[in-house]
């Protein structure tokens, strides 16, 4: 499984949604997308002047949270999409220390062990190759106390929770997004949640992938496991 065959379509859908992305996702998640981002930003315990990489910066939603919840971070935002990088550039013009880089998760254009922390908010799910992305994250994280925070929609292993979250994500969510953006788009960019969610490994499998690369792992979930935060780190 994977999203290789539809990856470009996924990126195009995110690009189309960029002016409505924050508002619609807030409604769709009952505000919990922001709660989960804030939890990750605070719990990652970022020291002043740390180097932070936001992978899949998109329209900049996670960077907004990081600027509010960390002290003078040195931020690098990477994305494959030039239109989304331009949107982030406009959003953060004159605010804080942010470098924008065009690149792919699977071939990160950075030296080894450069970053104190890497964040992937609602982005790991869209990777072309999740295992290679995590290898690259591990490579660019500092060897001592390097941290990865993943915030994403989740697929619980428990069958009852899985039924609840899948029903909402696969049926209700695209419909509500369509209603919220009626007359704004010809199609519905949020329809791409369906194939990306179908291809998503379970929360337990993602936890195993992270545990193979980092020594400590903790997690928190919201909405019966439909939103998850993983915090992985190596010791000091």
Ligand X SMILES: C[S@@+](CC[C@H](N)C(=O)[O-])C[C@H]1O[C@@H](n2cnc3c(N)ncnc32)[C@H](O)[C@@H]1O
Binding region for ligand X (CB under 6 A): 11, 14, 56-58, 61-62, 79-81, 84, 104-106, 121-123, 126-128
Closer to ligand X by Cβ: residue 12 or 221:
12
Decide: helix, strand or coil at residue 185: coil
Cα gap 194→127, rounded to integer Å:
15
- Beta partners for residue 79, in sequence order: 102
Closer to ligand X by Cβ: residue 75 or 84:
84
- Smallest distance, Å, CB 231 to ligand X? 16
Cα gap 73→69, rounded to integer Å:
10
- Smallest distance, Å, CB 84 to ligand X? 4
DSSP label at residue 71 = S
Closer to ligand X by Cβ: residue 86 or 216:
86
Cα gap 127→185, rounded to integer Å:
25
* Contact partners, residue 219, CB within 8 Å, separation at least 6: 203, 207, 228, 229, 230, 231
Cα gap 174→152, rounded to integer Å:
17
Closest CA to 102 of 80, 118, 117: 80
- Smallest distance, Å, CB 159 to ligand X? 27
- Smallest distance, Å, CB 119 to ligand X? 8
Closer to ligand X by Cβ: residue 14 or 141:
14
- Smallest distance, Å, CB 235 to ligand X? 27
- Smallest distance, Å, CB 63 to ligand X? 8
Please say whether the beta carbons of 18 and 58 come within 8 A: yes
Helix (H) or strand (E) holding 43, with range, is helix 32-43
Closer to ligand X by Cβ: residue 58 or 146:
58
Closer to ligand X by Cβ: residue 26 or 213:
26
Cα gap 198→151, rounded to integer Å:
18
């Amino acid at each position: 499984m994977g999203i290789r065959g539809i990856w470009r379509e996924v990126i195009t859908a995110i690009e189309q949604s960029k002016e409505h992305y924050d508002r619609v996702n807030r409604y769709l998640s009952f505000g919990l997308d922001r709660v989960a981002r804030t939890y990750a930003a605070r719990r990652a315990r970022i020291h002043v002047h740390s180097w932070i990489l936001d992978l899949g910066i998109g329209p900049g939603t996670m960077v907004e949270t990081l600027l509010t919840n960390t002290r003078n971070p040195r931020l690098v935002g990477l994305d494959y999409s030039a239109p989304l990088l331009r949107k982030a550039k406009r959003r953060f013009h004159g605010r804080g220390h942010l470098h924008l880089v065009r690149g792919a998760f699977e071939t990160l254009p950075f030296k080894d062990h450069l970053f104190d922390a890497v964040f992937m908010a609602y982005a790991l799910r869209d990777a072309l190759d999740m295992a290679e992305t995590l290898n690259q994250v591990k490579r660019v994280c500092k060897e001592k106390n390097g941290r990865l925070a993943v915030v994403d929609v989740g697929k619980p292993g428990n069958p009852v929770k899985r039924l609840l979250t899948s029903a909402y994500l696969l049926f209700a969510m695209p419909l509500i997004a369509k209603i919220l953006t009626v007359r704004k788009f010809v199609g519905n960019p949020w329809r791409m949640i369906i194939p990306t969610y179908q291809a998503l490994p379970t929360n337990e499998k993602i936890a195993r992938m992270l545990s193979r690369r980092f020594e400590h792992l903790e997690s928190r979930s919201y909405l019966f496991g439909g939103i998850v935060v993983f915090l992985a780190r190596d010791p000091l």
